[in-house]
Amino acid sequence: MMDGATHTAIQQRLLADASPFALDSMTLNGHRLAIYRHAPETLLQVLEEARGHGDAPFIKYLDRLWTFADFTRGVDSLAAWLLAQGVEAGDRVAIAMRNRPEWAVAFMAAVRVGALPAPLNSFGQGDELRQALAYLEPAVLCCDRERLDRLAGQTGVPGCRLVVAGNDEGLPLGEATRFESALSAWPEPRLPEVRVDPDSPALILFTSGATSRPKGVVSSHRAVGQALFNIDFIGALSGMTSPKAVKRIEAQRRPSVTLTAVPLFHVSGLHAQLLTAMRHGRQLIFMHRWSAVDALALMRSEGVTQFNGAPSMVRQLVVAAEERDDDILEGLWGMGFGGSGVPDSLLDKVLSRFPEQMIGIGFGMTETNGAVSAVSGELFRGRPRSSGPLSPLFDVQILAPDGEALPAGEVGEVCVRGVTLMQGYWREPEATAGALEQGWLRTGDLGYLDAEGFLFIVDRLKDVIVRSGENIAPAEIESCLTAHPAVAEAAVFGIPDEETGEAVAALVALREGQWVEESELQAHVRHHLAGYKVPSAIRIRHDALLRNPAGKLLKKHLREDFLQDTAQLQ
**What is the average per-residue pLDDT within 203-220?**
86
Question: Across-strand partners of 460?
Answer: 445
**What is the average per-residue pLDDT within 121-147?**
96
User: Which has the minimum average pLDDT: 315-329, 337-351, 370-384, 408-422?
Assistant: 337-351
User: In the prediction, which pLDDT does 462 show?
Assistant: 77
Which residues are CB-contacts of 259 (< 8 A; sequence separation ≥ 6)?
285, 287, 295, 298, 299, 302, 304, 306, 307
User: In the prediction, which pLDDT does 512 show?
Assistant: 86
CA–CA distance, 102 with 523 (Å, rounded to integer)? 32
Cβ atoms 277, 56 nearer than 8 A: no
Domains of the chain: 4-38+219-460 (3.40.50.12780), 61-196 (3.40.50.980), 467-569 (3.30.300.30)
User: In the prediction, which pLDDT does 4 show?
Assistant: 57
**What is the average per-residue pLDDT within 10-20?**
94
CA–CA distance, 74 with 102 (Å, rounded to integer)? 8
* Beta strands 370-376; 358-365: pairing state: antiparallel
Share of the chain above pLDDT 70, in %: 95
What is the torsion angle, in degrees rounded to the nearest 10, for the CA atoms of residue 161, residue 166, residue 168 and residue 172? Answer: -10
User: Does residue 419 register a pLDDT over 80?
Assistant: yes
User: In the prediction, which pLDDT does 340 show?
Assistant: 59
> What is the pTM for the complete model shown?
0.89
User: In the prediction, which pLDDT does 375 show?
Assistant: 86
User: Does residue 34 register a pLDDT over 70?
Assistant: yes
Share of the chain above pLDDT 90, in %: 76
**What is the average per-residue pLDDT within 138-157?**
95
SS3 assignment for 82-151: HHHCCCCCCCEEEEECCCCHHHHHHHHHHHHCCCEEEECCCCCCHHHHHHHHHHHCCCEEEEEHHHHHHC
- Give 80-106 pLDDT, tens digit per residue: 999 999 999 999 999 999 999 999 999
User: Does residue 172 register a pLDDT over 80?
Assistant: no
CA–CA distance, 502 with 215 (Å, rounded to integer)? 22
CA–CA distance, 92 with 95 (Å, rounded to integer)? 10
- Give 479-512 pLDDT, tens digit per residue: 899 889 999 889 999 998 888 888 999 999 998 8
Degrees, nearest 5: CA angle 178-194-201: 85
CA–CA distance, 230 with 374 (Å, rounded to integer)? 10
* Beta strands 57-61; 64-67: pairing state: antiparallel
Name the average pLDDT for the chain.
Answer: 92
* Beta strands 358-365; 177-178: pairing state: unpaired
- Give 282-291 pLDDT, tens digit per residue: 999 999 999 9
- Give 293-327 pLDDT, tens digit per residue: 999 999 999 999 999 998 888 989 999 999 999 99
Please name which of 21, 4, 419 lies closest in space to residue 236, comparing C-alpha atoms. Answer: 21
- Give 393-403 pLDDT, tens digit per residue: 999 999 998 89
User: Which has the minimum average pLDDT: 63-72, 136-145, 162-171?
Assistant: 162-171
CA–CA distance, 485 with 254 (Å, rounded to integer)? 59
User: Does residue 262 register a pLDDT over 80?
Assistant: yes
- Give 422-459 pLDDT, tens digit per residue: 999 999 999 999 999 999 999 989 899 999 999 998 87
Most confident of 132-141, 366-375, 497-506: 132-141
Please name which of 479, 489, 492, 539 lies closest in space to residue 511, comparing C-alpha atoms. Answer: 489
**What is the average per-residue pLDDT within 465-491?**
87
User: In the prediction, which pLDDT does 470 show?
Assistant: 84
Q: How confident is the model at residue 570 (pLDDT cuts 50, 70, 90)?
A: low
